[in-house]
Chains A and B, each alone.
Chain A
Amino acid sequence: MKKINSRTTTGVAALSIAVLALSACGPDTSGEEEEAGEGVDWAEVEPAEEIVFWSNHPGGSVDQEEELIAAFEEESGISVTLENSGATYEETSQGFQTSQGTGATPDVVVLSDATWFPNYLNDSLMAVDEVLEAAEVDTGGYVEALYEDYNYEDSHYGVPYARSTPIFYYNADHYEEAGIDAPPETWEEVGEVSQQLMEAETASSAFSFPPQEEYPAWWMQNLIWGYGGSWSDEWDFSPVASEQTVEAIEFAQEATDDWASVSSGDPADDFGSGATSQIVQSTGSLGGILDTADFEVGVAFLPGGPEAEGETPTGGAGLMISADSEPEEQLAAAMFIGFMTNTENTAMFSEATGYMPVQQDADMSAVYEETPQFQVAVEQLERARSQDNARVFLPGGDLELSQTLQEILTNDVDVAEEMESVQSSLEELYERDLASELE
């Protein structure tokens, strides 16, 4: 029998300890399902005295958030620690994801339309329906399309907070110069008025599409929905290469050869500086555009297409509660998110930031008087439609779509081929990263 010397033994022992140490701090790879805990009897739970709130302060709202927190603390006696979670929704989500299991997870977090779903898949978010009821938050008052964005498998995972939609912006001075009386109602009319603007030489571009960094796949859902297409139907990605979607994107590609361009940066900057006469941009940009523009800014509902009146995709962020928190903290968190988004507070937040009021009964009359353009944005909510899964629920889906759109809009490539290619990419992402978890 071969003798095992002490060095070998020590080496094996050290390696075993190292492997154990490494695997102990990583994710669980045993494949065993975690037993579901018993449901919480919320009637027995007392709210915690202190909770932590992570926010990236959407729209530069740190002052408003601090003001609302102070009012909540006075009303409820619950102390809220506001922590800066980064500059963007993406940074906030990255921070929240990497904080899992470290004991430093916040109780309430701001997550966007495109970042909450991976956190749901990670079991990091709690379904809020029961706890909101226990906290006596009336969810019936929320704008339905905005609240339903957080509904998955019959449970809600957040409440709407800093929500926005895209709207159609136009330079009213340029319109007057070109003899245009009213903003277009369909994409075909956008082409027609753009031709008039080109002839009048009002700006270097009549209309600007966004580059891939500015989320073109977000608002261009309006264009493809107008033609009867979509990025996906639930988890079926064939609609992205359908005849209708291809026709809509071909319309955009032809436009870039004629009356439209693709912006190199934020289209709002091009519009505010007068370099382009029309854009589609978030309602959240309205305040910034009004501040910088030295011309009359006009806004209108998003244009419609041959198959649908201008439907608008929703966007922005909601407030979510961590599944890691104790029931006492979750109850206090539910009281807090209900307070932050109640009728009075959403009106105040909306007035200060330019985001949509998330309650149907929010009194916005003072804002409308000062900024009539904002009323158009709010009225357009009647046409709100939840976004396609391919963009908001599939990790990497938005980037794949955005890259494809830029490729099409800046090069003379075959649209049908590109859309078939992106369909394959989306299906591959789904099969590889999601399918097994959703089945």
Chain B
Amino acid sequence: MSSAVQTEQERSRVRAHRRRQSKNWSLFLLFAGPNILLILAFIYYPLFSNMYYSTLDWRLGSSTATQIGLENYAAFFTSDSGLEVWRVTAIFTAGAVLGSMILGLLIALVLNKKIPGKTAARTAVFSPYVLSGVGVAMVWNFIFDPTRGGLSHILGFFGISSPEWYLNEDWSLFMVIIVYVWKNLGYCAVVFLAGLQSIPKDLIEAATIDRAGPIRRFVSVTLPLLTPTVFFLLVTNILFSMTNAFDILRTMTPTGHGTNTIIFEIYLQSFGAYQRAGYSAAIAVVLFFTLFFITAVQLRFVERKVHYS
């Protein structure tokens, strides 16, 4: 074969390769393009816009603003109110995550037994999770009302006066943690139940034959094999409790009295009272990186403790 023919064959191979590549790219753009555009427009553009706004001294709705660099961040990390926000966020997150997961696990252990009405019980446990946070909070507002609420009547029956759920900051925080846990534990219970059902029965039977009691079986067999589920729930619950609790907080404590977590502070600073859109944007950026950091740490270090098999 002459070199001219070889060159011509090489060229046609290259042309065919390019055509294939071009076709692949067209197909990729056809299918993925609209999604990429949507993600860019509705996730990354607002994200980077918000980062830009966080460097401004800008009142909500004003057509003008002043560039102030990182002053908003400095103000948030050095002010007393900023520190108080971190304290409340830490307590709320710890209470909400631990409460949901521990109670969710206990409920899942019960639902994993052969009990009558199991399906109805599972539905009942899960249903609060899909209810509107505002609706849930309104119902609980009625329950907690110290004058006319259902709880005050029950406590009164035992001669106990109702705590000042709405006037005392500590009770307010405890109150919203209870409501959040009640709404969220169905989700944890269902995920734990799926985890429990995936544990091979022969391992439990082997432990039983080795005369391991129920607590020993749970601690030495069930719990280690549940660690992937625990890890998954830990990550998602921390993220959810820091971002998804706003509806309950806003409805039960409209001015954030004792319940001013970081997500509430973002609202309060921009829309709620102070009109500081730039400062609020800075707190939103801090929240974004906090969640990013928590997730990265969990993936890097906590995941090592997980038994996947």
Residues of A within 8 A of B (CB): 18-19, 21-23, 25-29, 31, 90, 94, 96-98, 100-101, 118-119, 121-124, 204, 211-213, 262, 264-265, 269-270, 273, 275, 395-396, 398-399, 402-403, 406, 410, 429, 433
Q: Quick check: B168 and A28 within 8 Å, CB to CB?
A: no
CB-defined contacts of B255 to chain A, threshold 8 Å: 212-213, 399, 402-403
Task: Tell me, rounded to whole Å, the shortest Cβ–Cβ distance linking B279 to chain A.
Answer: 10
B62 within 8 A of A: yes
**Nearest CB to that of A28 among chain B residues?**
B64
CB-defined contacts of A31 to chain B, threshold 8 Å: 64, 66
B166 within 8 A of A: yes
Q: Quick check: B61 and A264 within 8 Å, CB to CB?
A: no
Partner of B59, one of A121, A265, A398: A121
Q: Quick check: A406 and B167 within 8 Å, CB to CB?
A: yes
Partner of B167, one of A21, A262, A395: A262
Task: Tell me, rounded to whole Å, the shortest Cβ–Cβ distance linking A89 to chain B.
Answer: 13
Interface residues on B, range: 35 or more
B201 within 8 A of A: no
21 A-B residue pairs with Cβ-Cβ distance under 8 Å, sorted by A, are A27-B62, A27-B63, A28-B65, A29-B67, A31-B66, A94-B271, A96-B61, A97-B61, A122-B62, A123-B63, A124-B61, A212-B255, A212-B257, A213-B166, A264-B165, A265-B145, A269-B148, A270-B147, A396-B274, A403-B255, A433-B59
CB-defined contacts of B273 to chain A, threshold 8 Å: 395-396, 398-399
Alpha-carbon gap, A22 to B67, bound state (A)? 14
Beyond contacts A100-B63, A121-B62: 5 other A-B pairs, Cβ-Cβ < 8 A, are A31-B66, A118-B60, A264-B165, A396-B274, A410-B164
B58 within 8 A of A: yes
Residues of B within 8 A of A (CB): 45, 48-49, 52-53, 56, 58-67, 141, 145-148, 164-168, 253-255, 257, 271-276
Q: Quick check: B53 and A213 within 8 Å, CB to CB?
A: no
Task: Tell me, rounded to whole Å, the shortest Cβ–Cβ distance linking A297 to chain B.
Answer: 19
Task: Tell me, rounded to whole Å, the shortest Cβ–Cβ distance linking B250 to chain A.
Answer: 11
Partner of B61, one of A26, A118, A433: A118
Are A118 and B59 also in contact (CB < 8 A) when A25-B49, A410-B168 are?
A: yes
CB-defined contacts of A270 to chain B, threshold 8 Å: 147
**Nearest CB to that of A262 among chain B residues?**
B167
> In the complex, which of the residues B49, B56, B61, B254 has the most CB atoms of chain A within 10 Å of its own CB atom?
B61
CB-defined contacts of A96 to chain B, threshold 8 Å: 61
Q: Quick check: A433 and B257 within 8 Å, CB to CB?
A: no
Are A27 and B257 also in contact (CB < 8 A) when A100-B63, A118-B275, A395-B273 are?
A: no
Q: Quick check: B274 and A433 within 8 Å, CB to CB?
A: yes
Task: Tell me, rounded to whole Å, the shortest Cβ–Cβ distance linking B211 to chain A.
Answer: 56
CB-defined contacts of B166 to chain A, threshold 8 Å: 211, 213, 264-265
Task: Tell me, rounded to whole Å, the shortest Cβ–Cβ distance linking A114 to chain B.
Answer: 10
CB-defined contacts of A97 to chain B, threshold 8 Å: 60-61, 275
Alpha-carbon gap, A270 to B166, bound state (A)? 15
CB-defined contacts of B274 to chain A, threshold 8 Å: 395-396, 399, 429, 433
Q: Quick check: A27 and B145 within 8 Å, CB to CB?
A: no
> In the complex, which of the residues B56, B59, B60, B147 has the most CB atoms of chain A within 10 Å of its own CB atom?
B147
**Nearest CB to that of A264 among chain B residues?**
B166
CB-defined contacts of A399 to chain B, threshold 8 Å: 255, 272-274
Task: Tell me, rounded to whole Å, the shortest Cβ–Cβ distance linking B49 to chain A.
Answer: 5
Alpha-carbon gap, A137 to B275, bound state (A)? 33
Are A26 and B257 also in contact (CB < 8 A) when A122-B62, A264-B165, A395-B273 are?
A: no
Task: Tell me, rounded to whole Å, the shortest Cβ–Cβ distance linking B65 to chain A.
Answer: 4
Alpha-carbon gap, A396 to B60, bound state (A)? 13
Alpha-carbon gap, A358 to B180, bound state (A)? 45
Are A211 and B52 also in contact (CB < 8 A) when A29-B67, A403-B257 are?
A: no
